[in-house]
Amino acid sequence: MNWISIKRITNLGLTNFWRNRWLSLASTLVMTLTLLIISLFVVMTIVIGKTTDRIKAKMDITVYFKDSATTDEISDIQQKLAARSDVKEVRYISKEEALQIWNEKQKNQRIRELVTTDENPLPRSLAVKAIDPSNLNNIADYLSSDDFRSIIHKISYEENKQIIDKLLAITSFIKKLGTFFSIIFIIMSILVILNTIRLTIFTRKQEIEIMRLVGASDRFIKVPFIVEGALYGFLACILAMLLLWIGIGLITPLTNQYLGETVSQNMRNFFAGHFGLILLLQFLVGILVGIGCSLFSIRKYLKV
Amino acid sequence: MIEVIGVSKTYGEKILALTNINLKIEKGEFVSIVGPSGAGKSTLVKMLICEEKPTAGKILIAGRNIVQLKSNELPYFRRKIGVVFQDFKLLPQKTVYENVAFALEVCDADPQEISDKVPRILDLVGMLKRKDNYPDEISGGERQRVSIARSLVHSPKILIADEPTGNLDPVNAWEIIELLDRINQRGTIVILATHNKVIVDRLKRRVILIKNGQIGSDKYRGGYVI
């Protein structure tokens, strides 16, 4: 392909975009919506994923020991636990540390002063974190075995089991739901944009016919439409980014009010920090979808 | 130059559009293909411009069987023939000049060639003075002239006109036919598919009658007889 034809073909695409500006506008707007929906869902899935990961990271089992248990016995259990493949971390909490935590957490001074260094009923404990929180169950079972019964006072898991199980179920449900809706919306958006571009091309059926008639090669017919498709994607990407920016500005007061300053600050930080990535993603998706849909739609008009 | 050998065309299983057509057209000939509607004229024209492929038989143009052309060879074949239609098929958003130039642009012609050839061909069809008008600003007869100019601009050896006068009044129609005649005298083969009796009778050139998908008669200096 020489320089003159590249110039001609590109010009043709740009001119067509302008001459059919209403249809171009429709396609660009639909594409903008597609990009917005895709970005929102991707961001939502990431945020939900991060939140559930954070919740999961906080889940643990605490084993409280009887005061009669010796330090050796406790460190033996600690080593055994640490050797398990499903355990991520085992932390020993001494009586002194337990007191410190008590002092930090207990706001009521009178209650706080009930426990002192000299009179400390707080038990020593091991805080166990699993690599996968759903394995906490197995670890709890292991600790409940007869071998350890004599020295273990209580396993916190028993109490928290229901909450942990529920949290696990909810987080996995939200993740699945988010992914499911993202996929559905992405497919729907792509179908809508495909249809819009097909319509654009359909209205120019005669033009394609004439081009073939005067001996235009397939490439000469195809490329202007591809240029147009890419242009839809490019403009839609800019529009979507702009709308996203305005949208965040608009909902910030609301998120401040309902979710607290930190959450909305986090959200804005996420967008600011990933601005380049989001832009690149939208740009790529926009242009690929535009070109892909154009290529797919024009195929049928190129057959003899 | 053009040889149609044993060409048949069926649509589906039952509709026989053409049966065993054989004909030969030499260089410089002016051939009218006539026949009632539905006789198979358009099917024959469509096969000559490779718009459709015959179910059986061969079509040789300059010794090459166009039935076997691959889809990537088609554009190059189409540049060697000019085609004119009843509905002109001009691009409405382009001016007269741009419509004609477009046919050269798609063939990767350089700008110098375009600015040389387009005014000359527009002058030949008498449309130079209207070069900056859009198709909807000119009359039917003028549009057909532009369409002819477009089909001739890459100097094809063959010009195929499918009912070029179908949408025109008798005066305009005759002017178009005279234009085709003039083009023929410059050495281009002209194949004219029509059912306009007056035109065919006045032309006194070769007439091929298609009837029920077969060649009914093939007469030199013939008239329109069904």
Q: B interface toward A at CB cutoff 8 Å?
A: 50-51, 71-72, 74-79, 83, 89-91, 93, 102-103, 105-108, 110-111, 150-151, 154
For residue A161, is pLDDT > 60?
Answer: yes
Kindly list the residues from chain A whose CB atom is less than 8 angstroms away from the CB atom of residue B78: 212-215
**Of A32-36, A95-99, A162-166, A246-250, the least confident:** A162-166
**How many alpha carbons fall within 13 Å on the CB side of residue A58?**
10
Who wins on pLDDT, B185 or A4?
B185
Q: Which domain holds residue A108?
A: 67-150
Q: Is residue A98 part of a domain?
A: yes
The residue with tokens 């809706």 is A181
- Using a pLDDT cut of 70, give the percent of chain A over it: 91
Interval A249-269 mean pLDDT: 72
For residue B49, the chain A residue with the least C-alpha distance is A213
One-character DSSP codes across A183-237: HHHHHHHHHHHHHHHHHHHHTTHHHHHHHHHTT--HHHHHHHHHHHHHHHHHHHH
Residues A36 and A87 in one domain: no
In chain A, which among 94-133 make CB contacts under 8 A with chain B?
none
Identify all chain B residues contacting A220, using CB atoms and an 8 Å cutoff: 75, 106
Task: Please tell me whether residues A187 and A291 are part of one structural domain.
Answer: yes
DSSP 8-state symbol, B157: S
Q: Is B65 part of a structural domain of the chain?
A: no
Strand-pair partners of B159: B82, B190
Separation between Cα atoms, residue B192 and residue A244, nearest integer Å: 61
Say what the pLDDT of residue B24 is. 93
- Nearest by CB to residue A8, choosing from B76, B78, B105, is B105
What ipTM is given for this predicted complex? 0.77
Are residues A213 and A104 part of one domain? no
Query: Is A126 a member of any domain?
Result: yes
The strands making up A61-65's β-sheet, listed across from edge to edge, are A87-93, A125-130, A61-65, A152-155
Task: Please count the structural domains in chain A.
Answer: 2
Residues A223 and A278 in one domain: yes
Which CATH number characterizes residue B102's domain?
A: 3.40.50.300
Residue B1 lies in a domain: no
**What proportion of chain A, given as a percentage, has pLDDT over 90?**
1
Number of domains into which chain B is organized? 1
Longest CA–CA span in chain A (Å) reads 101
Write out chain A residues lying below 8 Å of B110, CB-based: 4
Chain A residues lying within 8 Å of B50, measured CB to CB: 304
DSSP state of B139: -
Q: Which residue of B has its CA nearest to A224?
A: B106
Contacts of A153 (CB under 8 A, 6+ apart): A64, A65, A66, A123
Amino acid at B168: L
Least Cα distance to B183 among B4, B26, B30 occurs for B30
pLDDT at residue A46 above 80? no
With respect to residue B79, please indicate whether it lies within any of the assigned structural domains: yes
* pLDDT score, position A262: 65
Same domain, A49 and A83: no
CB atoms within 10 A of CB B42: 20
Give residue-wise pLDDT tens across range A204-217: 888 888 888 888 88
> Which positions 170-199 of A are in contact with B (Cβ < 8 Å)?
none
In a domain, A162, yes or no: no
Q: Taking a C-beta distance cutoff of 8 angstroms, is the pair B102, A214 a contact? A: yes
Task: Give a yes or no: residue B59 inside a domain.
Answer: no
- pLDDT band of residue B95 (cuts 50, 70, 90) is very high
Q: Which residue from A5, A206, A215 is facing B75, i.e. has the nearest CB?
A: A215
Q: What integer pLDDT is reported at residue A158 of this predicted model?
A: 62
Establish if A271 belongs to a structural domain: yes
pLDDT at B118 over 90: yes
Helix (H) or strand (E) holding B65: strand B64-65
DSSP letter assigned to residue A66: P
Range of the domain at B170: 27-54+70-219
Residue A304 has what pLDDT?
Answer: 46
Percent of chain B topping pLDDT 70: 98
Query: For the domain that residue A130 is a member of, what is the CATH number?
Result: 3.30.70.3040
